[in-house]
Amino acid sequence: EPEVTQTPSHQVTQMGQEVILRCVPISNHLYFYWYRQILGQKVEFLVSFYNNEISEKSEIFDDQFSVERPDGSNFTLKIRSTKLEDSAMYFCASSLGQLNQPQHFGDGTRLSIL
Amino acid sequence: AQSVTQLGSHVSVSEGALVLLRCNYSSSVPPYLFWYVQYPNQGLQLLLKYTSAATLVKGINGFEAEFKKSETSFHLTKPSAHMSDAAEYFCAVSYTGRRALTFGSGTRLQVQP
């Protein structure tokens, strides 16, 4: 069964540094998403992406965040200047076009900011 | 604000006992509803979804959930728990016109031998 893959599984970065989290969505999916889960808290929506544009974003997704689909397979989340509070598990997901289609998640990248 | 409530952050059952995990949503318009399971060090795996076709939804691993509009609930059940069901379970909702999933806080299921 096709799956969403995320790399790396664990990223350790110094505060203030830029970090890029990578995802390969399921190949025939059209919508791509990033979520995060701070330790002990809920899974929170960050952003959705369709047709090379952000289609929806949350208030968490401020100017330090950006997303990109640099080629036909990868989908990336960039955090420009990391803060301690960015430490979390970041999940990528993808879905087909219809609203009622479920999102399929990757195993996540654990981001640790020192 | 639209929200999802999962009652009980931890549920413990004996192997072979009924599993009941509760989820309530806040919306006058029925949203799309999903249950996901997360095993340790893994991502979120879809268990089942409700998309208005039938109120009783069957999912993987013997789980099912019933949508009750009058109670704004979508509780997850399994008749007989197995040790391998021990995991964290998340109820998630996408509200009308939006793709963003709103997650509940999760329920950790423990299965005792």
Q: Which tens digits make up the pLDDT trace of A3-54? A: 999 999 999 999 999 999 999 999 999 999 999 999 988 999 999 999 999 9
Tell me the β-bridge partners of B68: B73
Cis amide prior to A2 (ω within 30 degrees): no
Cβ of A42 within 8 Å of Cβ of B106? The answer is yes
Least Cα separation, residue A83 to chain B (angstroms): 24
CB contacts < 8 A, A to B, total: 57
Per residue in B58-93, pLDDT (tens digit) is: 999 999 999 998 899 999 999 999 999 999 999 999
Give the chain B residue whose CA is nearest to the CA of A108.
B43
Chain B from 36 to 55: CB within 8 A of any A CB: 36, 41-46, 49, 51-52
B6 and A CB contact within 8 Å: no
Residue B88's CB is within 10 A of a number of other CB atoms, namely: 17
Residue A49 and residue A41: Cα distance in Å, rounded? 24
